[in-house]
A = this chain, B = another copy of it.
Amino acid sequence: MNLPPRRLTSQLDVTISQPADIVFSVAVAATYTPAEEVLTMHLDGQPIDFHEISTNSGTRLHRVSKLPAGKLRVSYSALVDSPSLGMVEGEDQEIIYGRPSRYCDSDRLGQVAWTHFHQVPRADLVQAIRNWVNQKISYTPGSSRVVDGALETYLSRKGVCRDMAHLVITFCRAMNIPARLVSVYAPGLKPMDFHAVAEVYFDGGWHLVDATGLAPRQTMVRIATGRDASDTAFMTTMSGLTTLDRMSVTAIVEGDLPTDDAVVPVSLG
């Protein structure tokens, strides 16, 4: 597929109240080779150093340590005009992403998944799970808490993109289908923000499943990949005391957004 160039930016304003050690996850994954890419951090207006940490999942983390109190601004921009290389995936990935995780408690929801989906033919399972979550879970900003897992979403029938992705992942794992969470830049998302979608393994590859249907999958750009939201937070305070004051995200494609037909498998380009 011929993907249009995607121009991405994010900016975080953070107040450091006590000397802090922070990890950011806002840059596109290591599988891309952006035509342009700039990441800067400033403390009280002065540029500061940070360093990049590579991970086995292709997620690029950027860490600042021993930051004194002050106002931190993190600015990222990238132009992605070529498709992603495939992720390097060992056979263990298929096993690891089948396990229950913090917010995808597939072990507790095993019987529930079975009840809903055991009569669905294997080939239709992922689509059936996507549709169930799309239809039964009401997308409701403010309805969930960061400690909530898939069980809460299942019981309350409410959540945001993260919760809906967690439930998709949980049902997939409970039905023995490996699945994981991906944070993305998502052109077309309204209101614009970081987005979270499920990535599910079938037919020999990983495919995006977005039960929210809020943005076309084809033009999403991968940031972090992991078991669930515990692995994909855009900001993690390792020590110290911080407050996120403001955040802005943009993701734009040149030309028209593609049309996304939810029944067609899409892999991250």
Contacts and interface: CB of A to CB of B under 8 A. Distances in A.
Contact of A95 (B61, B147, B151, B176): B61
B102 A155 contact: no
Nearest to A175: B239
Contacts of A100: 102, 230
A147 B107 contact: yes
Interface in A125-161: 142, 145-147, 151, 155-157
Contact of A101 (B55, B101, B108): B101
Contact of A55 (B96, B107, B145, B231): B96
Interface string A50-64: 000111100001010
A236 B53 contact: no
Interface residues on A, range: 35 or more
A111 interface: yes
Work out how many copies of this chain go into the complex: 4
Nearest to A56: B56
A238 interface: yes
Interface in A218-268: 227, 230-231, 236, 238-239
Contact of A109 (B155, B236, B238): B155
A90 interface: yes
Interface in A26-77: 53-56, 61, 63
A54 B90 contact: yes
B111 A231 contact: no
Interface string A101-122: 1100101110110000000000
A108 B155 contact: yes
A78 to B, nearest CB: 21
Nearest to A178: B238
A90 B55 contact: yes
Given A112-B155, A157-B111, A176-B239, A53 B101 contact: no
A91 interface: yes
A98 interface: yes
A23 interface: yes
Given A107-B146, A176-B238, 10 more contacts: A53-B90, A54-B92, A55-B90, A55-B96, A95-B236, A96-B231, A98-B236, A101-B227, A102-B105, A105-B147
14 contacts: A53-B90, A53-B95, A55-B92, A56-B56, A63-B95, A100-B230, A101-B102, A101-B227, A102-B105, A107-B146, A111-B155, A111-B157, A145-B156, A147-B156
